[in-house]
Amino acid sequence: MDNRPIGVFDSGLGGLTAVRRLQELLPHEDIVYFGDTGRVPYGTRSRETIRRYAGEDCRLLLDRDVKFIIAACGTVSSVAPDILTSLPVPAIGVVEPTAAAAAAATRNGRVGIIGTAATIRSASFERALLAIRPDLHITATPCPLFVPLVENGWISQDDPVAIPMVRRYLTQIKADGADTLILGCTHFPLLTPIIQQELGSDVTLIDSGYETARLCAARLRETGQLSADSRPGQSRYYVSDQPEGFSQVAEIFLGHSVEQQVEMVRLDQP
């Protein structure tokens, strides 16, 4: 058994979708979350910058003695997977578990992918999908404005800004007849009601945060690294910008307040 916390990082708030799933699946585990709110979004950055940010994020979590790291960021998982495999603790990204779930879910062999510009440019989800099922027809669309929508809380089902933006981005995926859609950024599940409304109830949405949290839970069970504590797990949240805005929006992601659990850190300090 291993009572050290699970570490999760993302460019901002999106990774909280994975944290919420972890809290549901593993209620006795402590979690350390880092949201790089001072440098969000990652999806518009260069490959070199994304890799540097990912390394710094991982070091911050390792300094807090985590036993497992989740890169709850489609951009990092797509552009810098080798950084995760080089760490001294087990680490996973969102690509492989999400692709596996989508390949299993599709009925007509047509899968859509939405993500940041960097994620779609990397073609990581396509490669993972085709490695499982070479017969799949895949439509991938970058949605760079979805992250700001979520970070600003413009996510209600009748939001006058979000609705036309979702409709525009999903035009080709809808036209291609995808029956399964990968939400390739952990921010995107917050837009699920609008996306589902646009595509229809017959389209299965694959939540990358949920699928990755599920794989983490399975790995910890397999390796005997689950916490031995019977108490409820504690979560701590770190951000690289002022915590006030994070705390307000985090409540939307998690369903409960985190105001007293958020601390601002500098990435050049342990």
Retrieve residue 228's tokens.
């031995």
Could you say which of 58, 143, 185, 216 is catalytic? 185
Please enumerate in sequence order all residues whose Cβ is within 8 A of that of 113, keeping only pairs 6 or more positions apart, or say none. Answer: 120, 125, 126, 138, 139, 140, 141, 181, 182, 184
Query: CA-to-CA distance for 112 and 120, rounded, in angstroms?
Result: 11
Query: CA-to-CA distance for 153 and 54, rounded, in angstroms?
Result: 25
What is the signed CA dihedral for 191, 195, 197, 201, rounded to 10 degrees? -120
Is 264 in a helix, a strand, or coil?
Answer: strand
CB 218 within 8 A of CB 100: no
185 is catalytic: yes
Could you say which of 58, 73, 143, 216 is catalytic? 73
Query: CA-to-CA distance for 252 and 132, rounded, in angstroms?
Result: 35
Q: Rg (Cα) of the chain, in Å, rounded?
A: 18
Sequence-ordered strand ranges (E) for 130-249: 137-142, 180-183, 204-207, 235-239
CB 253 within 8 A of CB 24: no
- Write out the H or E segment, with its range, that includes residue 110: strand 110-115
Active site (catalytic) residues: 73, 185
